[in-house]
Amino acid sequence: MMRKILPGIVFILSAQMATAEPVTVAALGDSLTQGYGLPQADGFVPQLERWLRDNGADVVLVNAGVSGDTSVGGAARLDWTLTPEVDALIVTLGGNDLLRGIDPSVTRTSLEKILSGAEDAGVEVLLIGMPAPANFGADYKAAFEANYSELAEAYGVLFVPNFLSALTDGGTDPSAARAFLQEDGIHPSAEGVARIVDTIGPVALELVEKAGGD
């Protein structure tokens, strides 16, 4: 009897593995996510997808980055970004809020709308923060950056404090980023993206594992 049962178990397990679908992750962001100025394969989303697969993840990343988008724009796009197949969400928004000097409270409201919507949809989230420049003043900088850490804690989501930390020696030397930026001085080069992915990759892998129920 046991000899008959074992092949059946093996068949069932094999069938389950064959039909298992990859975890789908949508990356909601601006030009940093979209891959502005780079060949498609060198952008953040393709490089991160390769990193995750090289590290054993069965994953598909969807590029939901729109150049020039603010956190308000990202929040407005959430409903059609969270299509039924999306299991997890990476949120990288706020860079254009800074460029436009948008009040940190506006950014906070938009980020909270995104996190709340993802929570309602049962979607795991990785929130990635953006560093505010000192020229806006200490109060603005503190309020803007606190948005990310405070909301990540409030919603219990995975969190990376600074998208650009890999380019700035952990945030201690902003001038160090120049070697890893494109000519516009804003967007990372392909090498810069690779450094960013190496830093964010382990947390993104944790996101995939959570979304996959591992």
Which residue numbers are catalytic?
31, 184, 187
What are the tokens at 93?
A: 């928004």
The whole-model pTM stands at 0.88
Does residue 3 lie within any of the structural domains?
A: no
Question: What whole-number distance in Å separates Cα of residue 145 and Cα of residue 142?
Answer: 5
SS percent in the chain: helix, strand, coil, step 5: 55, 15, 30
- Pair 90, 207: CB distance under 8 Å: yes
CATH at residue 170: 3.40.50.1110
- Pair 45, 200: CB distance under 8 Å: no
* CA 105 to chain CA centroid, nearest Å: 21
Does residue 116 lie within any of the structural domains?
A: yes
- Pair 115, 146: CB distance under 8 Å: no
Does residue 113 lie within any of the structural domains?
A: yes
* Structural domain boundaries enclosing 87: 21-212
Of the candidates 150, 149, 26, which has an alpha carbon nearest to the alpha carbon of residue 78? 26
Question: What whole-number distance in Å separates Cα of residue 197 and Cα of residue 57?
Answer: 15
Does residue 9 lie within any of the structural domains?
A: no
Please give the tally of structural domains in the chain. 1
Per-residue pLDDT of the chain (214 residues; tens, 9 = 90+): 545 554 554 444 444 444 579 999 999 999 999 999 999 999 999 999 999 999 999 999 999 999 999 999 999 999 999 999 999 999 999 999 999 999 999 999 999 999 999 999 999 999 999 999 999 999 999 999 999 999 999 999 999 999 999 998 766 566 778 899 999 989 999 999 999 999 999 999 999 999 997 5
Does residue 4 lie within any of the structural domains?
A: no
Does residue 14 lie within any of the structural domains?
A: no
